[in-house]
Structure 1
């Protein structure tokens, strides 16, 4: 290799949560946005701040930015004027009225305060472990009387939030340390103290990432507004590009999909600019879902680059017209670590190294941090050694930037610290961003067309083709038809139309379809099934059309036990 030029390694950390709010009432159904914010978004920023010579790309989905901002605003309003919080779990740290002990709602709150990684969070802290054990013992014996009172719920709620706290906060904040040392018997004043910690963390997330971007250390990018699978909005039949035998929904076309895809892109950019003050150069199209038509839209929206999984590349090499690229890559496998250009679009495309990305997501959590980093860097070095043209090489590590860490000891504190520290001093590797890489005008590998697919297996099987997923698509397609009829009739006021349009975007999100299917765990399927049907029901309420009776019944049940609870997938189908 040319020793004068270090080979860039780009880490693209994807930050995403769907909108857990009820668009009509404003209430949060589930707490995952603020819990991941205080645990993961804070830690991921802190690791870059601790290693100022390292670089990375962070993708923030627009509806995540909106929720982070909403929590920060609500917490400020609570401290300034005593206004109530719309998240019932976070509200346990306030003086708000609670359900009576022994009631179903009280028991539901107790149960929600146990939803954390058993090994890495609950078992780590003796008081938390003991509280959860007491509650679970009672649940297993219907004849035991319920002696749990408000103090028990307070202690459990405090430990739930302490357990989910970011490791970098836990190690530096004296208030958190004092609360952990006390163990139980927390007062209302101490709950408020913990709430102040959470508020400061939430309010600081967007400014911290903005400062890192302004300093050139990170590149911030975005996705379509509510994270829809753009190729499926554009053409449901694109599913068959990678899965010719796939069973499609009865509704084989999404009405007005092109305009909806454009709306998600434009509105997403607007939300991003509102929070960060500039337009993003890159776009992680939801789930790395790409097609030729999607690439045209990305170019039209002004995006200079995008990325997806390497299974999409391998599937595309078998398409007619890509024979010369296939021959080149078969003769030099390192060529897949390059920028690609597809004939239909000037937008550059980078392909994720699925094997290396999945090692972080699924394998290294049970390794000693130093051993994991050494193994990872060794694989990177092998790629460099095998590449005859390292001047144009870029290695893409693209993965979930939040869900993986709860499976590591101490929220991957030691792993991420060792990873950045090692790469900061490496003689032949350097961390970079895609926009920085593209400034050097590297020649791109040409493809005539893409095989439509996502980073998961190179297909859309995670979102369509399954019986339950197809049911959900039929419900969505009918809701869009009903929405279009009302809009065309002109019976909605301008304000109601705008609210309904935003509600429609939530229904179009990818997350609901991800969770439908028996291979997923029942508790998560139940949650997302409920939320999807609630979002669609709210759309019907906003357009003043009776909702279909089928929305009263669950779409999917779920009986599986996938790796890491199903919150992540591996790039290659095992």
Structure 2
């Protein structure tokens, strides 16, 4: 319960990854699910466990939870000789034989083992840095490749996984500490021991967060099943509410979008309850993407709260003033309701959240936390004589920390310590704020559709590449609907096709399309998106059109933080 005098602060950490698994083969094409689990999801739980007075909201995308579970099943099957580990990188860690030097497979593994922050991860460990330097020689002087021992690749695989290991694990796990001290010439026993640590971390994620929730330290919430952008599924035209002149796809609507959006939420609740044993009260709609129709759907599904970015609040207030010119500016630090919806909407303080994402990584932890808390105290001070504000910091729980020393260990440790014992600020959760409100929600007639990024949907639609991706999805959905209606598929086949369609509906693919993103990541995601579409066509027994086999997008940009994070306001985009 929020105290009678303290100002409530909600830290909402969102955990999500799209589906990297090829449903036709069972193979994971990219390792980001298990790597972020051992580095970030584990650390984020540990910081809360280490500060019992701290509280937070932790949001999970269900498709992430399912992929963690799939890794656990595959590892267990491999241990019993009943199957293979479906991730090539993780499988290589414990492979009896590694690719021969000079082969494309050898080079491919080397390249994968360098996809880490060079300053905060690779260069932190001299042994890892030396291996990285050797790979440069390998690339530049191919005539020397035949003389490089397979021991090089074995050590590189071990160091890559050690580098990605969470800081709290590194400080407490004896196996990790002994491997780091050994430094080189890792044996198969060493590699298997490292896999055992990875398995233990993966297997602990669900129980640890469930326990934190049962203790009341954490409120667990959920996103749509595959992190789909619900307002656009419901109505592509909703993008015009914040950007009237935006260019939209040729298909002016996603076929059957209402049904699919409802399915995304219902499936999310089913998966969430299976993992955590309770119904979620809150939904962080993917990327804070909301519209009035989305609020109605959340209401129908029984959700009590959701959240978005502060630009959505400002856009909605500005629209309301056209009807009510003397409407007071209630600001972003209040809960809102819109139209006939009873769902409470909280708004991200973009300024505070972006300081964590883009500014504090190079600060001393005490200075950074001191600055952040000072801003919070100023917000609290401005509320005297008014209703108490609600200060919301909402951001993903994974991508920022690789830019911080030691995976943000000192910053997060200090943040929870200071806020847990602050005389004027109180960490809480959104459900507690609904049960014990500090202010009545401000009611506005209509929510202007948008996301936490710039208050628009420009990150997912409007760019020519993004629009082409939507047209491919709409076309596939038309064929999907025809096959579903003609009775040619059995029930099990329909369920598999529905799940594959849901993966194609995920918002992450559209996020990455566009020239302003890095070429390598755009290539990865557009290839994976098209593979998912091809799989969908195969599942419904319809030939994929040639357009699905044509490259969608080719990035050439160098956005801040690699493009995995964005500032909340367009004016704040780094040059």
User: Is this a same-fold pair by TM over 0.5?
Assistant: yes
User: Residues 502-541 of structure 1: matches in 2 within 5 Å?
Assistant: 502-541=499-538
* Alignment of 1:406 onto 2:402: yes
Mapped partners of 2:228, 2:427: distance in 1: 30
Q: Which residue of 1 aligns with 2:339?
A: 343
CA shift for structure 1 position 7: 0.7
1:445-502 Cα distance to aligned partner (Å, 9 max, x none): 1110011000000000000000100110010000000111111111111111110000
Equivalent residue in structure 2 for 1:557, among 551, 554, 559: 554
Aligned pair in 2 of structure 1 residues 97, 325: CA closer, same or farther (>3 Å)? farther
Mapped partners of 1:25, 1:81: distance in 2: 18
* Alignment of 1:9 onto 2:9: yes
CA shift for structure 1 position 3: 9.3
Q: Which residue of 1 aligns with 2:425?
A: 429
Q: Which residue of 1 aligns with 2:175?
A: 175
Aligned pair in 2 of structure 1 residues 405, 325: CA closer, same or farther (>3 Å)? farther
Equivalent residue in structure 2 for 1:483, among 448, 456, 480: 480
Mapped partners of 2:430, 2:11: distance in 1: 9
3-12 or 447-456, larger mean C-alpha shift: 3-12
Look up the SS of the partner of 1:57 in the other structure.
Answer: strand
Aligned pair in 2 of structure 1 residues 490, 366: CA closer, same or farther (>3 Å)? same
Equivalent residue in structure 2 for 1:462, among 451, 459, 480: 459
1:369-426 Cα distance to aligned partner (Å, 9 max, x none): 0000000000000000001356542111000110100000000000000000111111
Q: Which residue of 1 aligns with 2:201?
A: 201
Mapped partners of 1:145, 1:51: distance in 2: 50
Q: Which residue of 2 aligns with 1:224?
A: 224
CA contact (8 A) 1:241 1:451 kept: yes
Mapped partners of 1:306, 1:324: distance in 2: 25
Q: Which residue of 1 aligns with 2:31?
A: 31
Aligned pair in 2 of structure 1 residues 305, 69: CA closer, same or farther (>3 Å)? same
CA contact (8 A) 1:12 1:399 kept: yes
Equivalent residue in structure 2 for 1:501, among 492, 498, 501: 498
Look up the SS of the partner of 1:328 in the other structure.
Answer: coil
User: Residues 93-172 of structure 1: matches in 2 within 5 Å?
Assistant: 93-172=93-172
Q: Which residue of 1 aligns with 2:53?
A: 53
Equivalent residue in structure 2 for 1:419, among 412, 415, 418: 415
Look up the SS of the partner of 1:327 in the other structure.
Answer: coil
1:64-90 Cα distance to aligned partner (Å, 9 max, x none): 010111112222333344632011100
CA contact (8 A) 1:138 1:146 kept: no
Aligned pair in 2 of structure 1 residues 169, 387: CA closer, same or farther (>3 Å)? same
Aligned pair in 2 of structure 1 residues 390, 428: CA closer, same or farther (>3 Å)? farther
* Alignment of 1:356 onto 2:356: no
CA contact (8 A) 1:321 1:449 kept: no
Q: Which residue of 2 aligns with 1:87?
A: 87
Unpaired stretches in structure 1, ≥5 consecutive residues: none
Moved over 4 A (4+): 320-326
* Alignment of 1:445 onto 2:442: yes
Mapped partners of 2:326, 2:77: distance in 1: 58
237-246 or 387-396, larger mean C-alpha shift: 387-396
Mapped partners of 1:497, 1:96: distance in 2: 39
27-36 or 486-495, larger mean C-alpha shift: 486-495
CA shift for structure 1 position 97: 4.4
Aligned pair in 2 of structure 1 residues 4, 483: CA closer, same or farther (>3 Å)? closer
CA contact (8 A) 1:5 1:391 kept: no
CA shift for structure 1 position 344: 2.7
CA contact (8 A) 2:515 2:556 kept: yes
RMSD: 1.5
User: Residues 148-297 of structure 1: matches in 2 within 5 Å?
Assistant: 148-297=148-297
Look up the SS of the partner of 1:74 in the other structure.
Answer: helix
Aligned pair in 2 of structure 1 residues 529, 326: CA closer, same or farther (>3 Å)? farther
Mapped partners of 1:566, 1:326: distance in 2: 40
Look up the SS of the partner of 2:9 in the other structure.
Answer: strand
Mapped partners of 1:159, 1:436: distance in 2: 43
Mapped partners of 1:393, 1:528: distance in 2: 40
CA contact (8 A) 2:316 2:448 kept: yes
CA shift for structure 1 position 317: 1.4
CA shift for structure 1 position 105: 1.6
Mapped partners of 2:97, 2:281: distance in 1: 47
1:112-146 Cα distance to aligned partner (Å, 9 max, x none): 01100000000000010110111122213445444
1:293-339 Cα distance to aligned partner (Å, 9 max, x none): 0000000000000000000011111214675597311xx6xx42111
Mapped partners of 1:538, 1:395: distance in 2: 44
Look up the SS of the partner of 1:120 in the other structure.
Answer: helix
Q: Which residue of 2 aligns with 1:387?
A: 383
CA shift for structure 1 position 440: 1.5
How many equivalent pairs are there? 569
CA shift for structure 1 position 276: 0.5
Look up the SS of the partner of 1:192 in the other structure.
Answer: helix
CA contact (8 A) 2:101 2:145 kept: no
CA contact (8 A) 2:321 2:327 kept: no
CA contact (8 A) 1:325 1:446 kept: no
CA contact (8 A) 2:320 2:444 kept: no
Look up the SS of the partner of 2:176 in the other structure.
Answer: helix
| TM-score normalised by length of structure 2 | 0.97
Mapped partners of 1:572, 1:326: distance in 2: 26
Look up the SS of the partner of 1:372 in the other structure.
Answer: helix
Mapped partners of 2:186, 2:157: distance in 1: 10
Look up the SS of the partner of 1:54 in the other structure.
Answer: coil
User: Residues 66-77 of structure 1: matches in 2 within 5 Å?
Assistant: 66-77=66-77
498-507 or 85-94, larger mean C-alpha shift: 85-94
User: Residues 298-317 of structure 1: matches in 2 within 5 Å?
Assistant: 298-317=298-317
Mapped partners of 2:309, 2:140: distance in 1: 44
Mapped partners of 1:346, 1:376: distance in 2: 32
Look up the SS of the partner of 1:499 in the other structure.
Answer: helix
Mapped partners of 1:240, 1:551: distance in 2: 27
